[in-house]
Structure 1
Amino acid sequence: MPGERRRWLMLVVGMLAMTAGSTFQYGLAYLIPAYRDEGLTLEQTGLLVACPTVGVMLTLIAWGAAADRWGERVVLSTGLGIAGLIVLAARWAHDTATLALCLALAGAAGGAVLASGRLILGWFARHERALAMGLRQSAGPMGIALAAATLPALAAGGTGVPLLFLAALFLAAATAAFVFVRDPAAQASSAGSRAPEPPTISPYRAAGLWRIHAASALLIVPQFTITTFALVFLTDARGWTALAAGHLLAGAQVFGALSRLAAGYWSDRTGSRLRPMRIIAVVTGGAMLALAAAAATGSGTAVPLLLFLSVVAVSSNGLSFTAVAEYAGPAWAGRALGIQTTGQNVVTAATPPVVALAIGAASFAPAYAVVAAIPLIAAALVPVAGERAAVEAQTGQRGGVPDDQVTKPRR
């Protein structure tokens, strides 16, 4: 297969895998009514919805290390395949505890998707890598949209059919990974000799990678504050109907996915991941402050600001993942991406209950004002100054993987 087609096939398979993982991890919330119809309490269904995320957080770093050792073909096909078989078995779970265990184990296996991403580092040159990673990361919202569009309808006759659908999605992605994915081999230099081997010493001896992890985790807070409480704000504070608010926010989610592509394109054109990431963090903090002021005064600008944040606050995700992979280098990218995603998932789980307490105690405006400070702290942490030197140190080449080379597959 020609190199250009092969590269984009790697991306398509990665997007399919990410879509499958996201549909399962976040889609179970759309089965809550069906599970309640089967006799489960709201508390029990809440536990079931949380189980995949708990499983994911327990295995992300291990999957990343496995990807560094054996490559993404093995990791994706194995993890997704096991997840599909476990979800298939969950259809016959006879009690809540067994079902919860199956969902947690499936999340642990499916975590292979979130610890991957090394294919982008190896198959795409630096001038196009952020856009490619943005495309891959946009599959996350696509998975949520797929779950919203399919699972409630499939659950009309019970939860067995939706679980079968999720299992089939996992198994299809596992098959595609096994058949089509080829891990990149070491690059050759322009003179025909092999490029210098990337260093294998830990990139965590320097502060840069830790700062990217910290900044990325902090940027999750405004993102999930808006995602979780936008509907409540529109209905409780602005008097919208839930249906109208839901339609508006669904459209904003689509534009949020597109914003990741725009951020990736911007990053590739400027040759920097972290400078756009810092600008997005500053803009997010300023917009959160403006939203807090609008909420406090009852201004009509609150709704446009809310929509603006629904798009902008999610746009830096692909940039941070690309930066982590480049900072870590080929020998450490899997583990670094696992650590990155683990930190983000921990903050994702903690943000809704903490912000809910703040809103309950002090209303929306003060809570939004406090959240506004967090992306500004993240902006200060982003290590823009050392970006180019850090990437060159890990790749052994100036500017990373040369733009005029196409990676050859590892046989």
Structure 2
Amino acid sequence: MTPQPSAPAVRGRSPSTARRWAMLAASTLAQAAAAIMVHGPAFLIPSLHEREGLDLAQAGLVAAAPTVGVMLALVAWGAAADRWGERRALTTGLAATTVLGAVAASTHGTWVLAGSLVLAGAAAASCNVASGRVVVGWFPPERRGLAMGIRQMAQPVGVGVAAVTIAVVAQRAGVSSALWVPTAACALALLLVLVVVVDPPRPDRRGGGKAANPYRHDRFLARVHGVSVLLVVPQFVVWTFALVWLVQDRSWAPAAAGAVVALAQLAGAFGRLAVGHLSDLVASRMQPLRWVAVAAAVVMAGLGLAAGLGWAVAVVLMVVATVLTVADNGLAFTSVAERAGPHWAGRALGVQNTAQFLAASAVPPVAGLAITHLGYAAAFALAAVFPVLAAPLVPVHSERELS
């Protein structure tokens, strides 16, 4: 790795260790609340179908609405965080998400509900970029991977909370009541952010002009984006089809299959933390990212082989694949923020997440076609091709010294 130039002078005092961890907790809660808002409507599908009379296509449209909003707004929120700071982006976004969640919970009509959720998802996108910037800005390089690993646990935790609350509330009290769950979570996160979070220091630019565009300097960021898009494929193949594979192909009971998938998701959350800590220990984000890509390729190929031969170890490999295929997220996210710098990190993280969301939206239908025509084993094995392509693309040799 080549040394990085010395950092320019920064404004502001460094907070205490306790305050740093409090800001990490607030950022993680904000991201978890956003995840409940964005992914929670998927758990409304049974109630929308059975109680509200929507067909599955209409219910799926409502469930996908927040994700559409996120994709449309990520880069804009990144630019806002670059210009006005992380605290303002977080508080504005969470306040808007809370209001729009309340509107969605109070409204009637499929199109009005879907429109409200699109806007709520767009507002929640603020957390994807701003909460990560808080962590990168306040934690030193030797602790940043671990801290970002903790923050990256927020998404699976948020999805887990949504899974155990929203469907139950919707079944017992209706869709409108269930939408108060993510709304309340965002309101709570807003209060904590207001109390705890302050903007990280930035290089003093009073001496002159605009910050240089990091995309024009080299291809490091573009390569990381490309690697992340490729690694989304096996991640969402496993996320989307693990449960139905266990039920249809392995003849498991749905309750048992759901329990295994939930435990695999929990293990994946801790896997993000472990890989982040590893990146701190080896003082590199890219080398562990390449290790993850290679390991994901091996495990997905093994899963395809074991599933095709009907071996019992296939279930174990599915759990391992669930852990490995999400482990790259924190590494890539942290490296993008570090390389882009404090005046470009928001936009770069917006591009990173937008590319991943677009790829993730394409995986389920394409993988579904592959499963329909070729079977689960072949689909799992084909997914191994993407981390094989990703591994040599990881820009290990152009990574700078962490700072």
Does 2:48 match 1:35? yes
2:141 maps to 1:126: yes
Aligned to 2:80: 66
SS in 1 for 2:396: coil
CA distance in 2, matches of 1:222, 1:197: 45
Structure 2 residue matching 1:331: 3-state secondary structure: coil
| Structure 1 residue 351, shift from structure 2 partner | 0.6
Partner of 2:200: 184
Q: Which moved more, 1:179-188 or 1:111-120?
A: 179-188
Q: Which amino acid aligns with 1:183?
A: D
User: Is 1:25 matched with 2:38?
Assistant: yes
Aligned partners of 1:288 and 1:94: how far apart in 2?
A: 44
Instruction: Tell whether the 8 Å contact from 2:203 to 2:342 is kept in structure 1 after alignment.
Output: no
Amino acid in the other structure paired with 2:45: I
The partner residue of 1:202 within 210, 213, 237 is: 213
Q: What do you get for the CA RMSD once the two structures are aligned?
A: 1.9
The yes-or-no answer on 1:215 pairing with 2:209 is no
Partner of 2:104: 90
Between the aligned partners of 1:339 and 1:243, the Cα distance in structure 2 is 38
Residue 165 (structure 1) shift: 2.2
- Deviation at 1:386? 0.8
Task: Kindly report structure 1 stretches of 4+ aligned residues shifted beyond 4 Å.
Answer: 196-199
Query: 1:178: Cα distance to partner?
Result: 2.3
Write the letter of the residue equivalent to 2:345.
Answer: A
The answer to whether the 8 Å contact 1:121/1:330 transfers is no
Verify: 1:7 aligned to 2:15, yes or no: no
Amino acid at match of 1:33: P
Question: Could you tell me how far apart the structure 1 residues matched to 2:33 and 2:310 are?
Answer: 41
The 5 Å alignment of 1:309-348 reads 309-348=321-360
Residue 236 (str. 1) matches residue 248 (str. 2): yes
Between the aligned residues of both structures, percent identity stands at 46
Post-superposition shift, 1:361? 1.0
- Separation of aligned partners in 1, 2:376 and 2:52: 36
- Paired residue type of 1:293: L
2:154 counterpart of 1:154: no
Q: 1:197 to 1:245 in 2, by over 3 A?
A: farther
Task: Tell me the distance in 1 between the aligned counterparts of 2:316 and 2:196.
Answer: 43
C-alpha distance in 2, partners of 1:121/1:310?
A: 26
State the alpha-carbon separation in 2 of the partners of residues 364 and 152 from structure 1: 28
CA contact (8 A) 1:138 1:257 kept: yes
Measured at CA, do residues 303 and 260 of structure 1 come closer, stay the same or move farther in structure 2, by a change above 3 Å?
Answer: same
CA contact (8 A) 1:17 1:173 kept: yes
2:42–2:64 Cα contact (<8 Å) kept: no
Q: After superposing the two structures, state which structure 1 stretch, 197-206 or 23-32, moved more.
A: 197-206
Contact residue 221 and residue 339 of structure 2 kept, 8 A: yes
Secondary structure of 2:265's partner?
A: helix
Cα drift, residue 2 of structure 1: 5.3
In the TM superposition, residue 199 of structure 1 has moved relative to its aligned partner by 8.3
Contact persistence 1:288–1:372 (CA under 8 A):
yes
- TM-score, reference length from structure 2: 0.92
Other structure's SS at 2:397 match = coil
The answer on whether the counterparts of 2:238 and 2:322 sit within 8 Å (CA) in structure 1 is yes
Question: By how many angstroms is 1:153 displaced?
Answer: 2.2
Is residue 198–residue 331 contact of structure 1 (8 Å, CA) maintained in 2? no
TM-score where L is the length of structure 1? 0.91
Q: How does 1:298-317 map to 2 (within 5 A)?
A: 298-317=310-329
